[in-house]
């Protein structure tokens, strides 16, 4: 699914990641943790080719990212659901159009019938908000809408960057539950978070592994968490 | 062939595609209206450049066509020698290659020619009026210098009046004006392309957020570009249609060509030439299409 070998990344001269080795198997659930500024977002951006490694090898969905053309990247992103840290929407379009956008841009909007779409948005609890504009939603609602948009194409890999970042505990639990359900459906999930409490809660519900990002490198954390 | 089918594909994409996709670009009234206005103004100017180019082209063609192949020989001789010199001239002409035909202008024709100056009752017989011989040249006309020399030897009173001498600069001027008109049309197209590129660039810059969302969810560059391209193509088409309409209305109200050769009054369109300005709006749309597409793809290539 995702494979890194001695992968490194630096912004200009500033090294953020170096010598990262990682092998993410399909269907697994990972947390990526580390202090703010450690490079969690940078790592996820490498995973969806918003950034390219400056060293080493990154393979995504069995393709070496170095050989990818812009068109290939667009194709790969259709198989990856990204929940952005500051979940971005197109602010002048309503939530339904926003959530359907991945289908729209890949010319598959007709493939998801209304029933399935209603199922999806009731799953994230946003049935009543589909004609609202993104700025009219609360941050918890926006996070759930971002999650709905991330999974609307039924992607193989879901990358979530601090999906519970500025939510209260109850809402964070809700998002976590959705992510765990997705994993139970067979999706590979990687969640970047600095919320250890959240990780502990998750570990009681799913076989999640924890990656710790420190000193520019990623290590699998032990059971001591 | 490949380029051609690519063009067809582009146009088909533009026409059908998914019209709802356009709504990802927020409606922006102000710049939209500026684009429409500029396209309209450019089209208006293009109508006049086109009229200038066509009218001067007509003029150049007519002058060089009608006049280039006729030459006049004027014979002034004392009363008794006129007929002899006239015969000598005809003889020279008959033995010169490159001449299609020649004819001595009749008294009647000559009287008509002089009527505007001297009135209808001119006693032509009693006046020492020169006789005129009209010569029609073949396509590759005679050697004018040789003809002139032979004439001066055989008929000293004959003067070869080679129209090309004074006609050439006029034809040149008309042709120069025509090229200037054509050049102006190219300039107008270039300015339209530049203006639309700038407008598209500012629209792209203003919609950075939209573009990054689209890329995040897997939109290809052509998809994103298309949304912008369609907007600008439609605006340019609309503006140019209005501008062309206004320009042609203005042309209709120009004073009509009173007389052949009257340059200023003949500036309008004639006959089927009225159809040519109809090409301006689609041309503006094509220019807008390529300008926006280029600007969009270049801008998108810089965004990861
Ligand atoms: N575009 C950028 N250019 C230069 N430095 C950056 C850029 N983005 C992030 N950084 C730096 O890289 C480091 C890691 O950032 P980030 O991956 O966002 O960390 P995290 O998500 O773990 O908080 C931070 O120190 C940040 O300042
Ligand atoms: Mg971050």
Is B5's pLDDT higher than 50?
yes
If you take atom 24 of ligand 1, which residue's CA is the nearest one? A37
Residue A105: CB atoms within 10 Å: 26
Q: Indicate whether A137 belongs to any domain.
A: no
Assess contact for A149 and A80: CB atoms under 8 A. no
| d(CA A38, ligand 1 centre) in Å | 7
CB within 8 A of A26, min separation 6: which ones?
A1, A156, A186, A188
Q: What is the nearest CA distance from B246 to chain A, expressed in angstroms?
A: 36
If you take atom 26 of ligand 1, which residue's CA is the nearest one? A37
Greatest pairwise CA separation for chain B in angstroms? 103
| Inter-chain touch B216–A77, beta carbons under 8 Å | yes
User: For residue B31, what pLDDT is reported?
Assistant: 75
Q: Indicate whether A98 belongs to any domain.
A: no
Predicted-complex ipTM score: 0.89
Rounded CA separation B244/B238 (Å): 10
At A27-59, the pLDDT tens digits run 999 999 998 899 999 999 999 999 999 999 999
Q: Indicate whether A100 belongs to any domain.
A: no
User: For residue A53, what pLDDT is reported?
Assistant: 93
Q: Indicate whether A12 belongs to any domain.
A: yes
Q: Indicate whether A146 belongs to any domain.
A: no
Q: Residue A53 maps to which CATH number?
A: 3.40.50.300
Annotate A102-142 with three-state secondary structure: HHHHCCCHHHCCHHHHHHHHHHCCCHHHCCCCHHHCCHHHH
Q: What is the pLDDT along chain A (225 residues), one digit of tens a residue?
A: 899 999 999 998 899 998 899 999 999 999 999 988 999 999 999 999 999 999 999 999 989 998 888 889 999 999 999 998 787 899 999 999 999 999 999 888 777 788 889 989 998 899 999 999 999 999 889 999 999 999 999 899 999 999 988 788 888 898 899 899 999 999 999 999 988 889 999 988 888 899 999 898 898 887 656
> Is A36 touching ligand 1 by the criterion CB < 6 Å?
yes
* Pairing label, strands B131-137, B70-75: antiparallel
For residues B156-176, average pLDDT: 77
**Which has more pLDDT, B19 or A75?**
A75
Identify all chain A residues contacting B24, using CB atoms and an 8 Å cutoff.
Answer: 90, 93, 101
User: For residue B261, what pLDDT is reported?
Assistant: 47
Rounded CA separation B243/B39 (Å): 7
| Residue that the structure tokens 């939510």 belong to | A167
At B73-101, the pLDDT tens digits run 888 888 778 888 888 888 888 888 888 88
Is B66's pLDDT higher than 70?
no
Chain-wide mean pLDDT for chain B?
Answer: 82
Q: Indicate whether A134 belongs to any domain.
A: no
Q: Indicate whether A176 belongs to any domain.
A: yes
What angle (nearest 5°) sits at the alpha carbon of residue A134, between those of residues A81 and B27? 105
Count structural domains, chain A.
1
Interface residue of A44, A65, A74 to substitute, partner B, most B CBs within 10 Å: A74
Q: Indicate whether A82 belongs to any domain.
A: yes
User: For residue A180, what pLDDT is reported?
Assistant: 93
| Residue that the structure tokens 């192949």 belong to | B69
Picking from A66, A153, A61, the residue whose alpha carbon sits closest to that of residue A104 is A153
**Residues spanned by the domain of A67:** 2-88+155-220
Burial class (CB in 10 A: 0-12, 13-18, 19+), A202: buried
Interface check for B21 against chain A (CB to CB < 8 A): the answer is yes
Report the sign of the C-alpha dihedral through residues A76, A81, A84, A85, in that order: negative
**Which ligand 1 atom minimizes the distance to the CA of A40?**
22
Rounded CA separation A131/B22 (Å): 18
Rounded CA separation B23/B228 (Å): 10
Rounded CA separation B60/B159 (Å): 27
What strand order describes the sheet that includes A80-83?
A80-83, A157-161, A188-192, A29-33, A208-214, A217-220
At B121-141, the pLDDT tens digits run 777 667 777 888 888 877 777
Q: What are phi and psi of B135, to 5 degrees?
A: -115, 130
């Amino acid at each position: 699914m995702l494979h890194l070998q001695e992968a490194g990344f630096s912004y200009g001269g500033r090294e953020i990641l170096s010598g990262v080795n990682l092998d993410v198997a399909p269907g697994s659930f990972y947390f990526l943790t580390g202090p703010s500024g450690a490079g969690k977002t940078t790592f996820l951006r490498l995973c969806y080719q918003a950034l390219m490694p400056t060293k080493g090898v990154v393979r995504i969905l069995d393709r070496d990212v170095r050989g990818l053309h812009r068109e290939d990247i667009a194709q790969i992103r259709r198989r990856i659901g990204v929940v952005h840290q500051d979940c971005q929407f197109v602010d002048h379009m309503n939530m339904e159009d926003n959530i359907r956008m991945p289908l729209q841009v890949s010319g598959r909007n007709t493939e998801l019938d209304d029933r399935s779409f209603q199922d999806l948005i009731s799953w994230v609890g946003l049935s009543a908000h589909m004609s609202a504009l993104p700025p009219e939603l609360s941050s918890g609602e926006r996070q759930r809408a971002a999650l709905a948009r991330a999974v609307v194409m039924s992607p193989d890999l879901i990358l979530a960057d601090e999906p519970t970042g500025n939510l209260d505990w109850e809402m964070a639990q809700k998002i976590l539950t959705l992510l765990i359900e997705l994993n139970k459906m067979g999706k590979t999930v990687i969640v970047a978070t600095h919320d250890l409490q959240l990780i502990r809660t998750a570990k009681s519900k799913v076989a999640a592994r924890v990656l710790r990002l420190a000193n520019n490198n990623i290590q699998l954390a032990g059971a001591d968490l | 062939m490949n380029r051609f089918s690519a063009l067809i594909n582009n146009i088909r994409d533009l026409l059908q595609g998914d019209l709802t996709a356009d709504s990802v670009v927020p409606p922006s009234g102000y710049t939209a209206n500026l684009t429409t206005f500029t396209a309209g103004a450019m089209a208006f100017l293009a109508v006049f450049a086109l009229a200038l180019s066509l009218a001067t082209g007509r003029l150049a063609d007519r002058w060089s066509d009608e006049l280039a192949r006729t030459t006049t020989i004027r014979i002034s001789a004392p009363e008794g020698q006129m007929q002899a010199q006239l015969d000598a001239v005809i003889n020279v002409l008959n033995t010169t290659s490159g001449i299609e035909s020649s004819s001595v202008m009749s008294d009647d024709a000559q009287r008509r020619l002089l009527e505007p100056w001297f009135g209808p009752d001119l006693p032509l017989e009693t006046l020492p009026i020169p006789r005129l011989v009209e010569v029609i040249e073949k396509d590759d006309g005679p050697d004018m210098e040789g003809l002139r020399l032979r004439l001066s030897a055989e008929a000293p009173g004959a003067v070869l009046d080679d129209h090309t001498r004074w006609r050439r600069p006029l034809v040149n001027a008309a042709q120069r004006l025509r090229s200037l008109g054509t050049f102006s049309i190219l300039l107008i197209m270039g300015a339209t392309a530049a203006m639309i590129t700038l407008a598209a660039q500012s629209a792209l810059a203003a919609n950075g957020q939209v573009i990054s969302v689209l890329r995040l969810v897997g939109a290809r560059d052509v998809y994103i570009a298309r949304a912008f391209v369609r907007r600008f193509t439609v605006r340019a088409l609309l503006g140019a249609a209005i501008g062309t309409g206004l320009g042609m209305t203005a042309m209709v109200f120009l004073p009509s060509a009173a007389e052949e050769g009257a340059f200023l009054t003949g500036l309008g369109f004639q006959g089927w030439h009225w159809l040519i300005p109809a090409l301006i709006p689609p041309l503006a749309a094509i220019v807008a299409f390529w300008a926006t597409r280029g600007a969009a793809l270049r801008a998108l290539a810089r965004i990861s």
